[in-house]
Amino acid sequence: SSADKGGWSSFMAKEIAEQPDAIANTLRGRIVEGAVEIPELGSLGPDILKDIDRIVIIACGTAAYAASTAKYAIEAWARVPVDVELSHEFRYRTPVLSARTLLISVSQSGETMDTLMAVKYARDAGVKTLSVCNTQSATIPRESDGVIYTHAGPEVAVASTKAFVAQIVALYLFGLHLGTVRGTLSTEGLHDMTRQLLALPEKLAEVLEVTDTVRQLAHWMADTRSVLFLGRHVGYPIALEGALKLKEISYIHAEGFAAGELKHGPIALIEPGQPVFVVVPSPRSSAELHSKIVSNIQEIRARGARVIAIAEKGDAAVLPFADEVIPVPLAEPLIQPLLSVVPLQLFALELSTAKGLDVDQPRNLAKSVTVE
């Protein structure tokens, strides 16, 4: 009923707007005096975490893009190699595992059958398992050695939004904890990152201010047949997630690419008028990263692409080359994806709405896929 939607036009609209609160809840009680505390890790104590030599994160759909985003941060802070795999691809190919592998599953529902089967498979192979889950006492956390609940609140819309950002934040908290336990992260680095995380709810509230701009863009693009999304580094999984959101609820053909792959194929798709969203890394990322994406924008622009840049407020280098700039608040490079995904969520929502589609219940999809 509309009452459950709290006055919003859809659950998705409501859940997008709830992201500042969702993240405040994910963080609540877990940052104490600048350090991270996750008591729910169960048997996965410091002795075990010190000893792991590899992390495999498994998930499906949006949760897999949350995992891919967190890979950059966990590797940077804990210096452990992280592989992200789709649960169903992991499960059916006799993966190489050892007692020093940590398997992390990410699932909003905690009931996705592909992910559950992969967790059981790993557990039976003697691998330690950690679950990142949004649903209290769901099956996957019950089958795992430890669990980090995302506490984002119930998510009703099929297209995942607040659970996605909460999954990244939960994985970041784990990465900071792991880096602390393993001694790979300085106290200063830890304090800096926890400060950034605590500032995130406010920045998420700020980025929601682009809603009207994005709505206009979506109305103007309602007849578009295909939309491309480009990103680099942490912006790459965000580009993939932006494309997934659009496919899921607006049924428009959408593809996400690593910007570095452009010249290896996707640039052939660019023809005059082709809309391309570009997730521009923070100018405080490495200078190479930022200038590379600016030249990618120039390359597609020269071939007639219509460029919509998701860029940090005040990023002057992007302005001359973009048709539209959607500004996101200033944030450290690893925090930025949590903000730059929001305009892409809003774009999918507004485009689906402009087309008169059922935003919350897209055709052929289920919120939780409980069959393999």
Of 113 and 208, the one with the shorter C-beta distance to ligand G6P is 113
The conformation of residue 188, written as its DSSP 8-state character, comes to H
| Distances from the Cα of 248 to the Cα of 86, 87, 214, angstroms | 18, 20, 18
The residues that bridge with 308 in the sheet, in sequence order, are 277, 324
Q: What is the closest distance, in whole angstroms, from the C-beta atom of residue 297 to ligand G6P in the complex?
A: 29
Of 91 and 290, the one with the shorter C-beta distance to ligand G6P is 91
Sketch the per residue contact string, 233 through 262, with ligand G6P: x for CB under 6 A, - otherwise. Answer: ------------------------------
Of 133 and 214, the one with the shorter C-beta distance to ligand G6P is 133
Among 26, 144, 160, 224, binds ligand G6P (CB under 6 A): 160
Q: How many residues bind ligand G6P (CB under 6 A)?
A: 16
Contacting ligand G6P within 73-112 (CB under 6 A): 107-109, 112
Coil, helix or strand at residue 64: helix
CB 57 within 8 A of CB 341: no
Cα gap 198→34, rounded to integer Å:
10
Among 17, 49, 57, 60, binds ligand G6P (CB under 6 A): 60
Cα gap 103→124, rounded to integer Å:
12
14 is catalytic: no
Coil, helix or strand at residue 142: helix
Of 60 and 84, the one with the shorter C-beta distance to ligand G6P is 60
Stretch that binds ligand G6P, among 47-55, 59-67, 193-201, 263-271 (CB under 6 A): 59-67
The DSSP element (H or E) to which 198 belongs, if any, is helix 187-198
**Edge-first strand listing for the sheet containing 253-258:** 253-258, 226-231, 275-279, 306-312, 324-328
CB 277 within 8 A of CB 310: yes
Q: What is the closest distance, in whole angstroms, from the C-beta atom of residue 59 to ligand G6P in the complex?
A: 6
Among 17, 44, 49, 63, binds ligand G6P (CB under 6 A): 63
Position closest to ligand G6P via CB: 61
Stretch that binds ligand G6P, among 57-65, 212-220, 276-284, 325-333 (CB under 6 A): 57-65
Q: What is the closest distance, in whole angstroms, from the C-beta atom of residue 369 to ligand G6P in the complex?
A: 5
Q: Do the bridges between strand 35-36 and strand 31-32 make them parallel or antiparallel, or are there none, so unpaired? A: antiparallel
Of 112 and 129, the one with the shorter C-beta distance to ligand G6P is 112
Q: What is the closest distance, in whole angstroms, from the C-beta atom of residue 81 to ligand G6P in the complex?
A: 24
CB 262 within 8 A of CB 296: yes
CA dihedral of residues 15, 20, 22, 26 (deg, nearest 10): 160
Of 133 and 310, the one with the shorter C-beta distance to ligand G6P is 133
Of 107 and 282, the one with the shorter C-beta distance to ligand G6P is 107
Residue with tokens 């940052």: 31
CB 65 within 8 A of CB 220: no
Among 20, 61, 231, 256, binds ligand G6P (CB under 6 A): 61
CB 114 within 8 A of CB 88: yes
Contacting ligand G6P within 139-158 (CB under 6 A): 158
CA angle 309, 249, 358 (to 5 degrees): 130
Contacting ligand G6P within 310-369 (CB under 6 A): 365, 367-369
**Is position 113 an interface residue for ligand G6P (rule: CB under 6 A)?**
no
As annotated, the active-site residues are 367
Enumerate binding residues for ligand G6P (CB under 6 A).
60-63, 107-109, 112, 115, 158-160, 365, 367-369
